Amino acid sequence: MTSTDAALPATASARDIAAAVRRRELSAREVIEAHLDRIARVNPGVNALTVVFADRAREAASTIDSALAAGRELGPLAGVPMSVKENIDLTWSATTNGWRGMAEVVAARDATVVRRMRDAGAVPIARGNMPDFGMRWDTDNDLFGRTLNPWDRSRSAGGSSSGDAVSVATGMSSVGLGNDFGGSLRLPAYAAGVVGLRPSRGRVPRAAVTGYPVAQTLQEFSVNGPMARTVDDVALALDVMQGVDADDPVSLDAPRLRGLPRRIGVVRSFGDGVDPQVAAGIERAAASLTRAGWEVVDVEAPRLEETAVLWRRLSCTDMLMSLDPADLGMPLGRSATAFLRDSTAAARPYETAREYAEAWAQRAVVAADWRRLQAEVPVILGPVSASRMREPDYDLGGQEAADRAWRDLWLTVAANFLGLPALALPTGLGDDGTPTGVQLIGPMFGEEALFEAGRAIEAAVPPLPLP
Q: Residues 297, 266: contact at Cβ < 8 Å?
A: yes
Task: Specify the pLDDT at position 1.
Answer: 34
Structural domain count, the chain: 1
**Is residue 66 among the annotated active site residues?**
no
**Is residue 160 among the annotated active site residues?**
yes
- On whether residue 300 sits in a domain, the answer given is yes
Cα 7 vs. chain centroid, distance in angstroms?
A: 29
**Residues 378/381/385/389 CA torsion (nearest 10 deg):** 140
What is the mean pLDDT of each successive set of 10 residues along the chain, which is 467 residues long?
60 96 96 97 98 98 97 96 98 98 97 98 98 97 98 98 98 98 98 98 95 89 98 98 97 94 96 95 98 98 98 96 86 94 91 97 98 98 98 96 96 98 98 97 98 98 93
How far is it, in rounded angstroms, from Cα 118 to Cα 149?
28
Active site residue: 13, 27, 160, 174, which one?
160
CB atoms within 10 A of CB 209: 14
Give the start-end residues of each E strand in 53-194. Answer: 81-85, 123-128, 175-180
- The model's pTM is 0.97
- On whether residue 57 sits in a domain, the answer given is yes
Active site residue: 13, 27, 85, 387, which one?
85
Q: Taking Cα atoms as reference points, which of 225, 160, 158 lies closest to residue 193? A: 158
Which CATH number goes with the domain that contains 127? 3.90.1300.10
**Residues 203/207/210/215 CA torsion (nearest 10 deg):** -90
- On whether residue 319 sits in a domain, the answer given is yes
Q: Taking Cα atoms as reference points, which of 226, 185, 256 lies closest to residue 446? A: 256
How far is it, in rounded angstroms, from Cα 33 to Cα 59?
11
Containing structural domain, residue 212: 3-459
Task: Specify the pLDDT at position 129.
Answer: 98
Name the DSSP class of 432.
T
Q: Residues 181, 218: contact at Cβ < 8 Å?
A: yes
- On whether residue 466 sits in a domain, the answer given is no
How far is it, in rounded angstroms, from Cα 318 to Cα 416?
15
- On whether residue 464 sits in a domain, the answer given is no
- On whether residue 61 sits in a domain, the answer given is yes
Active site residue: 184, 288, 385, 387, which one?
184
Q: In what order do the strands lie in the sheet with 263-266?
A: 49-52, 123-128, 81-85, 175-180, 223-228, 195-198, 422-429, 435-441, 379-382, 263-266, 295-298
Query: What are the distances in angstroms from CA 421 to CA 195, 319, 394, 439, 443?
Result: 13, 23, 27, 10, 7
Q: Taking Cα atoms as reference points, which of 445, 192, 181 lies closest to residue 319? A: 181
How far is it, in rounded angstroms, from Cα 382 to Cα 414?
12
- On whether residue 369 sits in a domain, the answer given is yes
Got the DSSP string for 37-84? HHHHHHHHHH--EEEE-HHHHHHHHHHHHHHHHTTPPPPTTTT-EEEE
User: What one-letter code names the amino acid at 419?
Assistant: G
Task: Specify the pLDDT at position 5.
Answer: 54
How far is it, in rounded angstroms, from Cα 274 to Cα 266?
13
- On whether residue 467 sits in a domain, the answer given is no
